[in-house]
A and B are shown apart, each in its own frame.
Chain A
Amino acid sequence: MNRRVVITACSAITPIGRTRAEMLHCLTNGVSGVKPLKEDGLLSSFIHSKVFGTVDYPVTYDFKRSFRKTMGPVAYYACQVAKETLESSGIGQDLITSGRLGVAFGSTHGSPTVQREIYKTFFGGTQSDVRSIGAVDYLKSMVHTTAVNITKMFGITGRVISSSTACTTSSQSIGFGYEMIKFGMQDAMLCGGADEYDTTTVAVFDNLLACSTAFNDTPDQTPRPFDAKRDGLVVGEGAGAVLLEEYEHARKRGATILGEVIGFSCNNNGGDLILPNLQGITETIRIGLRDAGISAGEVDFISAHATGTKMGDVIEAQAIHNVYGDHPPVVGLKSYMGHTMGSCGVIETIILLHLMREGYIVPTLNLSKIDERCAMIRHSREVKDYPIRTAAVQNFAFGGVNTNLFIRKISQG
């Protein structure tokens, strides 16, 4: 069984806004969502990188206490984008609770904010304080907290997949959701990822010398994917959800189809857990193209992982060049908002859907002077009318995990 899979709704919370209009405004006017790192009274003073892709506007929630009691900040993000996605999709409660709709949703490590409180109590508290660490704290902080708070809130009884592969978390969510529907296991999948504001992740990358530190006084000038002056990634926060649906199901109910997922690949470098790997990434792209059943020449736009690290961008540019040459324009969307970790794959997919709809492409921000080692591919450097028909979304994670999603525009008549 090989069924077609389409995207019929989406929602995002990002450092460059929530709605399509807000995000496109930032993308077409060069507005960055990277801000100064906030003082957290624990790690921030030890961290060299003083920038963060920040959601600096209020997000309004309307969740009952019976839902709130098991939710940490990351689950608030996840449930909000899930709620908006389900509401805007127009699907009925009968499908949501039928067992034919599943959830593929994850985060990098649950809720670090709640974990931090647990450890504070654990190491600094009295015996009675320690006893106060309860089941609720686990439910709020556990690694699959996003997925199961979503199932609880909406009464979803289908399959649950909760990837937790750092930067490929939500691209895996979409990819595994696509496979669930393609192979007939489910008719619809609510897919995505979220990560809350967290300095622990910054500290990890900072210790590995992977974070940007040269633009602490000018946060909007970093990260700088593919640029000669790039000096590392910028951690960010955010969330995104998409509803995947079997094509005939969507068509019959008259759903608005935002795009079709035509292919997905996921592999591992089979070795080092940190260093980018040219062979592994090149192979991911090739496997994805085979899954999509298309040639490299048919891909007319690429959303690169492009975190702004010294080596990562060079290896990715080489891999793109190996497969595509200098044909499709390449954009690094993290240049606008930093690396939103577990949500980057889905946010980049949602932005791609918006660009497909609008018929133009946007430049990689802060790409002033292309690093000559990244110059062999075609960089997107300006806002330009450009109808995208088939695009790739590339994501790579610590642990050597690589993913590639292929999305196609569908003409609805």
Chain B
Amino acid sequence: MTRDEITAHILQIFRKEFEIENPGLDDDLREEHEFDSIDAVELLLQIEKMLGSELTQEEKKQAMDIRTINQVCDYIEGLARIRQNVS
């Protein structure tokens, strides 16, 4: 998956699951879009579906500092890299 594809997929999830339309890629999601810890947990489930594999507890904890769409995409790229290396 390219970076652009990941971004497009995440923006689609934000639109469909969180009713957040076209957020700026560096918007603070909590401050500007009321995206809270409950949403973050829901997003992790969506990311698991996207990657087709479960996240470890450690990986989930790493996501708790994420604030922007760009950071979400960085996080997914990192997860995908790890899974690619393992396989």
Chain A residues engaging chain B, CB cutoff 8 angstroms = 64-66, 69-70, 128, 131-132, 134-136, 139
Contacts and interface: CB of A to CB of B under 8 A. Distances in A.
Contacts, number: 20
Contacts of B38: 69-70, 135-136, 139
A65 B41 contact: no
B42 to A, nearest CB: 7
B75 interface: no
B21 to A, nearest CB: 11
A65 B42 contact: no
A66 B34 contact: yes
A139 B36 CA distance: 14
Contacts of B54: 128, 131
Q: Which of A66, A70, A135, A136 has the most CB of B within 10 A?
A: A66
Contacts of B34: 64, 66
Interface residues of B, number: 10
Interface in B18-62: 18-19, 34, 36, 38-39, 41-42, 45, 54
Main secondary structure of the interface of A (DSSP, over half): helix
A128 B54 CA distance: 9
Main secondary structure of the interface of B (DSSP, over half): helix
B39 A135 contact: no
A65 B42 CA distance: 14
A109 B34 CA distance: 29
A64 B34 CA distance: 10
A64 B39 CA distance: 14
Contacts of A65: 18-19
A66 B36 CA distance: 9
A259 to B, nearest CB: 38
B18 A135 contact: no
Contacts of A69: 38-39
Nearest to A127: B54
Contacts of B45: 132, 134
Contacts of A132: 45
Nearest to A67: B34
A139 B38 CA distance: 10
A132 B44 CA distance: 10
A139 B19 CA distance: 20
A105 B45 CA distance: 32
Contacts of B39: 69
B41 A134 contact: yes
19 contacts: A65-B18, A65-B19, A66-B34, A66-B36, A69-B38, A69-B39, A70-B38, A128-B54, A131-B54, A132-B45, A134-B41, A134-B42, A134-B45, A135-B38, A135-B41, A136-B38, A136-B41, A136-B42, A139-B38
Interface of B: 18-19, 34, 36, 38-39, 41-42, 45, 54
B78 to A, nearest CB: 22
A271 B41 CA distance: 45
Given A70-B38, A131-B54, A136-B38, 17 more contacts: A64-B34, A65-B18, A65-B19, A66-B34, A66-B36, A69-B38, A69-B39, A128-B54, A132-B45, A134-B41, A134-B42, A134-B45, A135-B38, A135-B41, A136-B41, A136-B42, A139-B38
A194 to B, nearest CB: 22
A134 B40 CA distance: 11
A69 to B, nearest CB: 6
Contacts of A64: 34
B57 to A, nearest CB: 12
A199 to B, nearest CB: 29
A66 B38 CA distance: 10
A159 to B, nearest CB: 24
Contacts of B19: 65
B28 to A, nearest CB: 15
Contacts of A131: 54
A45 B39 CA distance: 38
Nearest to B36: A66
Nearest to A136: B38
A134 B34 CA distance: 19
A183 to B, nearest CB: 36
Nearest to B45: A132
A252 to B, nearest CB: 36
A207 to B, nearest CB: 36
Contacts of B42: 134, 136
